[in-house]
Amino acid sequence: MWNQDKSLNLSILLVRILFVLIIVLALCVPVMANWYDIASPDKTGLIAGSVFWPLSICLYLSAVFGEICLYHLYQLLKNIRNDIIFKSENCRHLRYISWCCILVAIPFGIFGFWRSLGFFVAFAAGFFGIVLRVLKNVFVRAVEIQEENDYTI
């Protein structure tokens, strides 16, 4: 029977797999960027020319921010598994995850000047970062309420 513990363990396993997968894919960035530069029929953008270097920079920055994000997600899941829920440490992890999403949006927003798809990726990453900021603010308030209740007799 599927339960909360199995779901949590699956999430932790997937985070670990993604952590390794991002490292492997980072090694393939030059190949992927070259392939996209050659095969991309979408040449719409304000800046013409090769996208090898702009895309490579975006992908490497995304890999770095992705690894940081996955580290904090792993720490958050580990805290949840240990029944550490409404603590300020979890708010800090959510803050870092949201900032990583927002920081990924910046290079892809710039890449959008070469290929319009970059604007879509930037919007999606930025939007997800903002949603996580809202979730973090809810968690901060929940931590405050929890601490008030802990001091109430």
Q: Classify burial at 61, counting beta carbons within 10 Å of its beta carbon; exposed 0-12, middle 13-18, buried 19 or more.
A: middle
CA separation for the pair 43, 63 (Å, rounded): 25
In a 10 Å sphere around its CB, with 0-12 CB exposed, 13-18 middle and 19+ buried, how is residue 90 labelled? buried
Angle at CA 64, nearest 5°, toward 50 and 60?
15
**Which amino acid is residue 18, in one-letter code?**
L
The pLDDT of residue 147 is 86
Can you give the pLDDT at residue 39?
82
Give the integer Cα–Cα distance in Å for 56 and 149: 50
Residues of the chain with pLDDT under 50: none
pLDDT of residue 45: 74
Q: What is the pLDDT of residue 139?
A: 93
pLDDT at 27: 96
Tokens of 80: 């949840």
Q: How far is CA 64 from the centre of its chain?
A: 10
Which alpha helices (DSSP H) does 28-113 contain, by range?
29-39, 52-81, 88-111
- The closest alpha carbon to 98, from 128, 75, 54, 63, belongs to 128
Q: What is the pTM of this model?
A: 0.89
Angle at 27 between CA 26 and CA 32, to 5 degrees: 75
Give residue 122's pLDDT.
Answer: 97
Tokens 């959510």, located at residue: 94
Q: Please give the Cα distance from 106 to 61 (Å, whole number).
A: 10
Q: In this predicted structure, what is the pLDDT of residue 78?
A: 96
